[in-house]
Structure 1
Amino acid sequence: MSGYDDVPEWAPRTPPESGEFGIPYTFPGDPGATGATGAPGAPGADGGPSAPPGGAADGGFDYFAKPDRSSRPPGPAHAAAKRTRKRPRPSKRTGGIMLGPLAGAVVLVMLTGFAAYAFTSAADTCSGDDALTIDVATSPEISPAVVRAAKRFNDARNEVAGMCARASVRSADPAAVATLLSGKGVSGVTEQPDVWIPDSSLWSKLAEGSGRAGATAAVTELGGMASTPIVLAMPGSLATQLRNLGAPAQPSWKDLITAAGTAENAERGSGPAAEKSPIPSRLFRLQVPDPGKTATGMGTLMLANALLSDDPQGQAMFAGAVRTFREGVAASVTAQFAAFGEGTGDRYPIALTPEQAVFAHNAKRPTEIAAAVYPAEGTLYLDHPVSVLSGDAAKLSAGRLLFKELTSDATGEDVRRLGFRTPDGTAPAAFSERTGLSEAAPKGLTPPSAAEVEQIMQQWAKLSLSLRMLSIIDISGSMSEKIAPGLTRLQATIRTAQNGLSLLPDDSEAGEWVFSTHLKGEQDWREVVSVGPLGERLGSVTRRQALLSTFTRTTVKKNGDTGLYETVIAAFDDMKRTYKAEYINSVVLWTDGKNDDEDGPSLAETLKHIRDASDPQRPILIYMLGLGDGVDVGELRQIAKLTNGDALVAQTPGQIQSLFLKSLSDQACGSNC
């Protein structure tokens, strides 16, 4: 199935009763809402939910509360003063009644019967040797409209190459078809269709960019038949409260993603932009459909890459964004919306989702509808492209004739009734603030090329892998020097390590060493926390907690020198000995100087040891993060490059943070980033 396979689920199982489709649906918090005041979402006099308390009249943040969470412990500081709100009563339903503006979608889906789609009748003579049949594979959520278009096409008895042309339609997971077309194997779809209608051109670009033997070459792209932008969905009352806080109707992606950051110890931001943002840090828990299986998830990565491409720190920031997305991967779009009514700790669930899925969710008449947020910079559209995959000239001609029907006025009406926009951005009549959607089409960003799609998906695949990382911090005497007012080199390093640790999920492995000279007898390094799963318990605490506690207790060794080479050799050997193939295994060493341990190995001896001990089947990446002017970056880079790692030097606290994020990105992506 596609990333938003909601059509079979939101269609009613009983026919709607006649005369009941005029019930308006009220957007929570809308100034025009009617009905009794009280618990947010409670049914009003007209059958829709009334405005929640804390609206424009009340103002402020006091009523910014999650439903039915009185038994939960208090949340973070920004939620401490929220009033407890009662769980709203379910909205009334009668005989499968749906929203008035959405009734057409119900009828459309019922007419298609949710079945496999071949159209025959007693008078049908377009079959056998006299017929040219084209096999059409379509993304499930658009299939009702495709079925009806195919029926009109078949009824027209178009003639191609002396034969009558007909279409046979089947529903197919776009990811499975893309896997087949890319030559990467078989995943649920074994036969290539003649005409393919996935939910997004990203799939065809991914197949095209694979460059594998066996990939489909004969692809004729005809254009899109429907569109739906990727939006950020949230409970309607939450959207209302954000407006009350002063958030613009179209906030920036940066503010939204920052408010969904997973870094528990990350800086809350600095500078005028951060201070002016009305959205509290870590307010949201972001949910994203799996980028490896859905166009929505894939499009989210493309959005992040496009919005960060012009930033000097874009690569490192992209790595951080991917970590945030990885933490919030949802099983499906249905699961994303289900989380809106569940307790999620101290944060509010929001979802990156197609606009049409918001429509489909709201068509179920939930207790509280979802509101679509359209970020200011614009977004990517899922364009439902029609492509002919057959190299047969007759089937290509038949596909072009079918495309005319798929882009006809009748089909345009059908796709709008399903909650899609037509390719020109025209919205369904039901789209309004009262139904959580905007009639105006959001700005569309430039779609990525096939090469960009392939590269970004490679980054995702590698950044999604868990890291196994040994962090080593220099505690020699010079680490007590100031790198900024009130901040020593060691303090800046520890702050970055803390923030970086919070980017790693519990299934990552990490450990901590410190080094100087003679820390343990003649040994220049000392293990503080062994490498292992961050979620594993070490006595009464987890390894993550132990590392955080260790960071706060780390101090400089007065008059200590820098035993760099001995430490690097020991760390490389230890990580090779304990190597785990299912992880990216790496050493990240922080230092502000060059080796000055005269009793230890030389640079030449260090390079020879690592060169001789390296095993391509058990790679260990070494990253050297230098601080200040005393670093010999040339020496550090010689060591790191032997392992396909790198040496990076920072002069300011901000650069330290950026370079560490870059090292995380490089560890996962290697030469593909």
Structure 2
Amino acid sequence: MAPRSSRSSARTAARRTGIGLLAIVAVGLTGCFGSGDPDAFGDGDFVDDGCTSIVVATSSEKVNMLDALADAFKESPEHDALDECATVHPINVSSGEATRILTAGGDWPDEDTRRWPTMWSPASTVWTERVAAAASPSLVGEPASFTHTPVVFGVPEPMAKALGWPDAEIGIADFEELCADPDGWASVGKPLWGSFKISKTNPNTSTTGLSAILMQSYEAAGKTDGLTADDVAAAADFSRVFEECVIHYGDTTGKVLTTLYDETQNGASGSGYVSAVALEETSLLNYNQGNPDSHTVQPGEKLTPPKEKLVAVYPSGGSIWSDNPITALGADWVTDVQAEGGAAFAAFLQTDAAQKILPDYGFRPLDESVPLGDLFTAAYGVDPAGPAVTLPKPGVEVVSAAIDQWTQIRKPSSVLEVIDISGSMDEAIGDGRSKLDGAIEGAQATLGHFRSSDEVGVWAFTTGVSSTAGENLVVLRDVEPLASDRESLDTSLADLRYAQREGTPLYDAVAAAYDEMTARAEPGRINAIVLLSDGQDTDSSISLDSLIARIGKASGEGGDDAPVRIFPIAYGEGADTGALARIAEATGGQWFDASDAAKIDLVFASVINNF
């Protein structure tokens, strides 16, 4: 029998001392493969320790918890019963992205086979059922839940109190009424807060986003069980109004919470950005302890709680729970020894020893007799007795109907893509493509996301060119309904390979694009600029500070009825991440890291999921 080896002694010692205390109040994320994080499959702790490697692809919020459970597993009877020792490695892959990979068939998309998963732990069995239906039941084995967390709405505490929290029952219909009321927050005596704004994630990639649209259908149908595809269809008008309040979509709640956190820490109330965030209770707990993006807390790291906490509104009509299953994959690359080790780890997760670890990481144990501890209290914005009503997860056909409906009723978008085509874009990115090739292909791949009624435009910028948009700008397509122009726009993007490429007038390009989009912005749309740049500004007539003052004027308390948010992509190692982050922050947008230029396709997909 191979020697039983624990993970690195330094790491274990850290967890048993100061980092253990930090980990109690933080749920870890290491990034999200589906969100284009270039380190999504980072090296991690994959040093050969003489034991069988059990890789668990897990939804982001469970990484730290599974890390702790992996250490406890080493000391368990379930591990002792194995013929060969096993070491569990959690890696971060969004539930929706893992579903896409597994249903597509073929190998796992990672060059390092050490990181190919033996097991899968999405946030909900919704995803394992979709893979079973679309691919093969044997691929996902027999999933079993080991912990759960309800989907709630996180609301800044002053806003929640304005709605009658904590005494009044608040339902999704109450949010829908605020969305439909042109007076917004003024209808409850808070005119300075402007319109009611909701943040939701994309249901194609996010469990929370999927649960939210199902909860909307339950609410519209007046049901607490037995939701049908007909109920979903009948809820279209109700859900459409609800979607009209959405500021933008995304793969995860982490970036939205980070933006909200940064605003509150800098003295703003956050009301100009978002009023309610659909999220899992565990993410809210993380936010209130100063970990808005739920990253993996490192030894010695100090978390700073937000100046204004979020409180959990458990909808009066009920909440769907993320049931967090785990299962051994029936993939060709999983060996019998790995499957045996994975089954032992899954069995361990059901034991009292494992269940007692869960509350330390913001998750509820399946065994209700296990104490929840100090984290599940009003001090951290949650009610240990909530939610009062549990909504059952509907069948695969109902889930599919809800996703298909969302595609049609989601808030329409008006998006201008602004692409840097300066000389540095000729640099190679290591996979046989230049930076410009990657940018073109990433932009082309996003066209299928948009509906024909969505407005899409594309500009490029460098020195020595001119167009109707101004000096140093090339208009490939004006912002107008996409209609049937996908093929022609695809060709226009490809033509960028032959464009003149010189300097980088980044700030001037942003200013011109912002003026264009502000002039045409409509309240009923997500008005946005996707900005891709691989370098520093070298040729603008406007300074960064002047640009920030210009684009940030509409982002104060109450915001604007039709804000234009900028979503910059920092492309390659030379991109000015500091400037791009400031540009995003000034408009309530989000910036994306594509420092690993070869993964630009993934990053582009993540950005476009906001719309």
TM-score by length of 2: 0.50
Match of 2:322 in 1: 382
Contact 1:199 1:383 in 2 (8 A): yes
- Give how far 1:336 is off: 2.6
Contact 2:99 2:130 in 1 (8 A): yes
Secondary structure class of the residue paired with 2:386:
coil
Match of 2:152 in 1: 231
User: Deviations for 1:516-554, whole angstroms, at most 9, x for unmatched residues?
Assistant: xxxxxxxxxxxxxxx95599999x985969xxxxxxxxx
Counterparts of 2:399 and 2:235, CA distance in 1 = 15
> For 2:362, which of 409, 419, 422 is the aligned residue?
419
Q: Which shifted more, 192-201 or 321-330?
A: 321-330
Match of 2:342 in 1: 399
> For 1:366, which of 284, 298, 306 is the aligned residue?
306
> For 2:59, which of 125, 128, 139 is the aligned residue?
139
- Give how far 1:456 is off: 1.8
Secondary structure class of the residue paired with 1:135:
strand
- Give how far 1:464 is off: 4.1
What residue identity is the alignment partner of 1:233?
G
- Give how far 1:441 is off: 3.4
Counterparts of 1:183 and 1:109, CA distance in 2 = 28
Distance 1:532 1:116, change over 3 A: closer
- Give how far 1:118 is off: 5.2
- Give how far 1:286 is off: 0.6
Counterparts of 1:505 and 1:324, CA distance in 2 = 18
- Give how far 1:314 is off: 2.6
Work out which of the two has the higher radius of gyration on C-alpha atoms and give 1 or 2.
Answer: 1
Match of 2:37 in 1: none
Match of 2:424 in 1: none
Secondary structure class of the residue paired with 1:387:
strand
Contact 2:54 2:118 in 1 (8 A): yes
Any unmatched runs of 5+ in structure 1?
A: 1-13, 19-95, 269-274, 469-503, 510-530, 546-673
Counterparts of 1:407 and 1:15, CA distance in 2 = 22
Contact 2:149 2:321 in 1 (8 A): yes
Distance 1:233 1:187, change over 3 A: farther
Counterparts of 2:330 and 2:196, CA distance in 1 = 46
> For 1:299, which of 211, 235, 238 is the aligned residue?
211
Secondary structure class of the residue paired with 2:330:
coil
Counterparts of 2:343 and 2:142, CA distance in 1 = 10
- Give how far 1:220 is off: 2.5
Contact 2:205 2:251 in 1 (8 A): no
- Give how far 1:304 is off: 1.4
What residue identity is the alignment partner of 1:151?
D
Secondary structure class of the residue paired with 2:277:
strand
Contact 1:322 1:463 in 2 (8 A): no
Contact 1:371 1:437 in 2 (8 A): yes
Q: What is the count of residue pairs matched by the alignment? A: 369
> For 1:437, which of 359, 376, 382 is the aligned residue?
382
Distance 1:321 1:399, change over 3 A: farther
Contact 1:288 1:352 in 2 (8 A): yes
- Give how far 1:119 is off: 8.1
User: Deviations for 1:439-487, whole angstroms, at most 9, x for unmatched residues?
Assistant: 113132011212222222222234448599xxxxxxxxxxxxxxxxxxx
Distance 1:404 1:543, change over 3 A: closer
Counterparts of 1:216 and 1:421, CA distance in 2 = 28
What residue identity is the alignment partner of 1:289?
T
> For 2:402, which of 442, 456, 462 is the aligned residue?
456
Residue identity over aligned pairs, in percent, reads 18
Match of 1:203 in 2: 127
Secondary structure class of the residue paired with 1:170:
strand
- Give how far 1:140 is off: 2.9
Contact 1:260 1:282 in 2 (8 A): no
TM-score by length of 1: 0.46
> Which one scores higher on RCO, CA 8 angstroms, separation ≥ 6?
2
Contact 1:222 1:387 in 2 (8 A): yes
Q: Does 1:219 align with 2:143?
A: no
Contact 1:249 1:373 in 2 (8 A): no
What residue identity is the alignment partner of 1:411?
A
Match of 1:471 in 2: none
Match of 1:289 in 2: 201
Contact 1:253 1:375 in 2 (8 A): yes
Counterparts of 2:272 and 2:397, CA distance in 1 = 40
What residue identity is the alignment partner of 1:444?
T
Match of 1:410 in 2: 353
Distance 1:409 1:119, change over 3 A: farther
Match of 1:256 in 2: 175
Contact 2:56 2:88 in 1 (8 A): yes
- Give how far 1:186 is off: 8.1
- Give how far 1:423 is off: 2.2
- The correspondence of residues 568-607 of structure 1 with structure 2, limited to 5 A, is none
Counterparts of 1:222 and 1:184, CA distance in 2 = 19
Q: Does 1:149 align with 2:69?
A: yes
Match of 1:172 in 2: 92
Contact 2:289 2:380 in 1 (8 A): no
Distance 1:346 1:415, change over 3 A: closer
Quote the RMSD (CA, aligned, Å): 4.8
